[in-house]
A and B are shown apart, each in its own frame.
Chain A
Amino acid sequence: MLEGLLIGLETAFSLQNLLMVIGGCLIGTFIGMLPGLGPMSIIAIMIPVAISMGDPSAALILLAGVYYGAIFGGSTSSILLNAPGVAGTVASSFDGYPMAKQGKAGKALTIAAIASFAGGSIGALLLMVFAPALSSVALLFHSAEYFALMVVGLSAIAAFAGTGQVAKALMMTVLGLIMATVGEGALFNLPRFTMGIMDLQSGFGFITLAMAMFALPEALFLVLKPSNIQGGEGGKITDLRISRAEAKSIAPVIGRQSIQGFFIGVLPGAGATIASFLGYAVERNIAPKAEQEEFGKGSIKGLAAPETANNAACTGSFVPLLTLGIPGSGTTAILLGALIALNVTPGPRLMIDEPQVFWAVIMSMFIGNLVLLILNLPLIPYIAKVLSVPRNYLIPFILFFTLMGAYIGQNNATELLLLVGFGVCATALRFADYPLAPLLIGFILGGMLEDNFSRSMQLFDGIAFIWERPMTLALLTIAAILVVLPSYRARRARLRRAGTADGD
């Protein structure tokens, strides 16, 4: 391993590759900030550039830099505008945006930068140590377990996003899953629920839905209630520093979430989105009662958890790609395509045949995280200037970027009409206090959930997989407990309260 490390260091520290890391991170951050352009689209755009370089190490280093730059940039727009451009940073807006609204945008961005750095670096360290071993763990998971794992993820999201309204959160998750079934599924090649409309053949666009659920209602709320926006002087980011006590309180969160996020990232299909939501849910659940109340209202732990977890998961998602040649997410699938175009086949032999590629990528992850921290922390006050733009200019621009994000993704004007329609529905749902995040997550996971469910059904010729595979049964039991427990606890608390009241 030491020899590999030295080869990696030598390759990663060449001038060309250093420039690639810095360039990739900067491009990723700036484009990732724009709502609607996620890492997948940015990497897809950068592929021609990467391939034309001809050097696989440099290409992968550039694309990996773009990847975590985009995740970092996405969290910046989540915090400042509540308009997450990337699904993996949706959870960062839960507490990041309330902090920005309280005038603590600087602090929120610093915590995000530090948490991302720590998550990414610890993730890279784990990748270096565990990459070969972890591939065998991921291999143990069959589609039945993947299905069960996704159910656990969804129920955790539903149970925790609802703040005591589990039924509403569950309804939104199911609605997301229902929306995911619209269009042509990969397994059956049959159009379902399209009502004969050609534009629905390929299903709803993820970006359109994300924009409609988050960016558009937020912009409409800004219009409806002008006091929501900070205005001129509020945009000044002054307090970048975090206190010793704050650092102390987020340190264990960062430690836990780096590890948890990394391992979730390793599992194909899970990735940064589940890692961030699960990280948020776990931290919220294990926090002391007083701090639990803070979650969703600007808790620093609630921001550090998803930020650490999503970056650690991004690093983790490289494990199946580099060691098995199986992409675990859309983004790593694009990276796989780029590598094959450069005549490198990722897989178990990559470490033996092309050690410089394998180790240089890992080394460049450390450099990339450092670049993000060093470049972005000082740049934060400038990045945050977005907030000081007057409302009359800011709102049309947010709306425009929302429209553009949906349009560029699909190149279809019907998508814009869908965006406005869904946006109005989402605003009504927000009025009635329905949580919107579970809908989007249900939508993202819907396809994968159904694929894995179908595959297990086919393998076991029915639903026998539920009891024939103990791990699946255990995971599904956990999912059921997650859904029932909050209502049960709330009910007991209410009965107890009522009981004491009667006694008085």
Chain B
Amino acid sequence: MALDRWIALILLGVCLTYGYTAWFTMDDGLAPFMRRNPIWPSTFPKVLSILGVVASTIILLGLEKGEAKAGEIDYRKLGDYNIGQALLLLGLMVAYALCLRPVGFITSTAGFLILGSVILGERKWHLMVPVALCATLLVWYLVQEVLGIYMRPLPGFVGG
């Protein structure tokens, strides 16, 4: 089964779960006076769940014949691409999300930019480090001073 039909199967599962919630469990807690309303919080989701189930079934069963066209990247040969770099960068983004608050904006951003370049194969440290630091400080200044959004610059124990 091709990837698009696998995805349709997953989406069908999502729509069925969504539909189950909308049709059977959501209205339980509805206040009596709201039950007289022609529209309930679950009305619109009910309609959507039907549409979603129909659309995903059409894709899953291949009812609509489309011309097969080669995508930009052939997912069957993912190994031929730089999949390692992509996964490492995704990991780095997750690490950044987790570090932003505790480690501080300047430390984590500079680290993110430098490590990101390193993952992509950059080794010119004399260029990479100043660029990352300047960009980080500039963005921090803009966000903190101009936009007035507070961001802790350094880790808490350094006084940031």
Neighbouring B residues of A491 by C-beta, 8 Å: 65
- The residue on B at minimum CB distance from A406 is B97
- Does A197 lie at the interface of the complex (its beta carbon under 8 Å from any beta carbon of B)? no
A488 → B minimal CB distance (Å)? 11
CB within 8 A of B120: which of A228, A396, A417, A460? A396
CB <8 Å contact, B83 and A224 = yes
Q: How far is B45's CA from A187's CA once the two chains are assembled, in angstroms?
A: 14
Q: Per-residue CB proximity of A344-380 to B under 8 Å, as 1/0?
A: 0000000000000000000000000000000000000
- Does A230 lie at the interface of the complex (its beta carbon under 8 Å from any beta carbon of B)? no
CB <8 Å contact, B113 and A396 = yes
Q: Per-residue CB proximity of B94-123 to A under 8 Å, as 1/0?
A: 101110110000000100110011001110
CB <8 Å contact, A413 and B143 = no
CB <8 Å contact, A413 and B100 = yes
Best-surrounded residue of B75, B83, B93, B101 (most CB of chain A within 10 A): B93
CB <8 Å contact, B139 and A404 = yes
Neighbouring A residues of B121 by C-beta, 8 Å: 392
Scan residues 399-429 of chain A and give those whose CB is less than 8 A from a CB of chain B. Answer: 399-400, 403-404, 407-408, 411, 413, 416-417, 419-420, 423-424, 428-429
- Does B32 lie at the interface of the complex (its beta carbon under 8 Å from any beta carbon of A)? no
Q: How far is B14's CA from A167's CA once the two chains are assembled, in angstroms?
A: 16
Q: Per-residue CB proximity of A202-237 to B under 8 Å, as 1/0?
A: 000000000000000001110111101000000000
Scan residues 67-111 of chain B and give those whose CB is less than 8 A from a CB of chain A. Answer: 67, 69, 71-73, 75, 78, 81-83, 85-86, 89-90, 93-94, 96-98, 100-101, 109
Q: How far is B48's CA from A235's CA once the two chains are assembled, in angstroms?
A: 44
- The residue on A at minimum CB distance from B6 is A432
Q: How far is B44's CA from A177's CA once the two chains are assembled, in angstroms?
A: 10
A293 → B minimal CB distance (Å)? 12
CB within 8 A of A429: which of B7, B45, B101? B7
- Does A181 lie at the interface of the complex (its beta carbon under 8 Å from any beta carbon of B)? yes
Scan residues 1-23 of chain B and give those whose CB is less than 8 A from a CB of chain A. Answer: 2-4, 6-8, 11, 14-15, 18, 21
CB <8 Å contact, B73 and A457 = no
Q: Given A223-B120, A403-B96, A420-B97, answer yes or no on A171-B8 (Cβ-Cβ < 8 Å).
A: yes
- Does A164 lie at the interface of the complex (its beta carbon under 8 Å from any beta carbon of B)? yes
Q: Per-residue CB proximity of A170-196 to B under 8 Å, as 1/0?
A: 110011011001000101101011000
Q: Per-residue CB proximity of A276-299 to B under 8 Å, as 1/0?
A: 000000000000000000000000
Q: How far is B14's CA from A27's CA once the two chains are assembled, in angstroms?
A: 43
CB <8 Å contact, A164 and B48 = no
Best-surrounded residue of B3, B48, B72, B149 (most CB of chain A within 10 A): B48
Scan residues 52-77 of chain B and give those whose CB is less than 8 A from a CB of chain A. Answer: 52, 55-56, 58-59, 63-67, 69, 71-73, 75
CB <8 Å contact, B4 and A168 = yes
A420 → B minimal CB distance (Å)? 5
CB <8 Å contact, B96 and A416 = yes
Neighbouring A residues of B97 by C-beta, 8 Å: 403, 413, 416-417, 419-420
Bin the interface of chain B by size.
Answer: 35 or more
CB within 8 A of B38: which of A167, A434, A457? A457
- Does A102 lie at the interface of the complex (its beta carbon under 8 Å from any beta carbon of B)? no
Number of A-B residue pairs at CB separation under 8 A: 175
Neighbouring B residues of A177 by C-beta, 8 Å: 48
Neighbouring B residues of A225 by C-beta, 8 Å: 72-73, 81-82
Neighbouring B residues of A433 by C-beta, 8 Å: 4, 69, 71
Q: Is the interface of A mostly helix, strand, loop or mixed?
A: helix
CB <8 Å contact, B93 and A403 = yes
Q: How far is B83's CA from A470's CA once the two chains are assembled, in angstroms?
A: 55
Q: How far is B21's CA from A178's CA once the two chains are assembled, in angstroms?
A: 12
CB <8 Å contact, A175 and B52 = yes
Q: Given A177-B48, A424-B90, A433-B71, answer yes or no on A487-B64 (Cβ-Cβ < 8 Å).
A: yes
Q: How far is B51's CA from A166's CA once the two chains are assembled, in angstroms?
A: 13
- The residue on A at minimum CB distance from B116 is A396
CB within 8 A of A221: which of B6, B11, B72? B72
- Does A504 lie at the interface of the complex (its beta carbon under 8 Å from any beta carbon of B)? no
Scan residues 27-83 of chain A and give those whose CB is less than 8 A from a CB of chain B. Answer: 45
Neighbouring A residues of B55 by C-beta, 8 Å: 167, 170-171, 174
A131 → B minimal CB distance (Å)? 34
Q: Given A178-B52, A395-B116, answer yes or no on A165-B82 (Cβ-Cβ < 8 Å).
A: no
- Does A462 lie at the interface of the complex (its beta carbon under 8 Å from any beta carbon of B)? yes
Q: Given A167-B64, A190-B41, A494-B65, answer yes or no on A175-B11 (Cβ-Cβ < 8 Å).
A: yes
Q: How far is B17's CA from A437's CA once the two chains are assembled, in angstroms?
A: 24
CB <8 Å contact, A431 and B112 = no
Scan residues 442-477 of chain A and give those whose CB is less than 8 A from a CB of chain B. Answer: 450, 453-454, 457-458, 460-462
B11 → A minimal CB distance (Å)? 6
CB <8 Å contact, A416 and B8 = no
Q: Given A174-B51, A192-B26, answer yes or no on A431-B71 (Cβ-Cβ < 8 Å).
A: yes
7 contacts between A and B (CB under 8 A): A167-B59, A171-B8, A175-B52, A224-B78, A392-B120, A424-B90, A431-B71
15 new A-B contacts at CB < 8 Å, known A392-B121, A393-B122, A393-B128: A170-B55, A174-B51, A177-B48, A192-B45, A219-B89, A223-B89, A224-B81, A403-B97, A407-B100, A419-B97, A420-B93, A432-B3, A432-B75, A453-B39, A454-B39
Interface of A toward B, CB cutoff 8 Å: 45, 164-168, 170-171, 174-175, 177-178, 181, 185, 187-188, 190, 192-193, 219-221, 223-226, 228, 390-393, 395-397, 399-400, 403-404, 407-408, 411, 413, 416-417, 419-420, 423-424, 428-434, 450, 453-454, 457-458, 460-462, 487, 490-491, 494
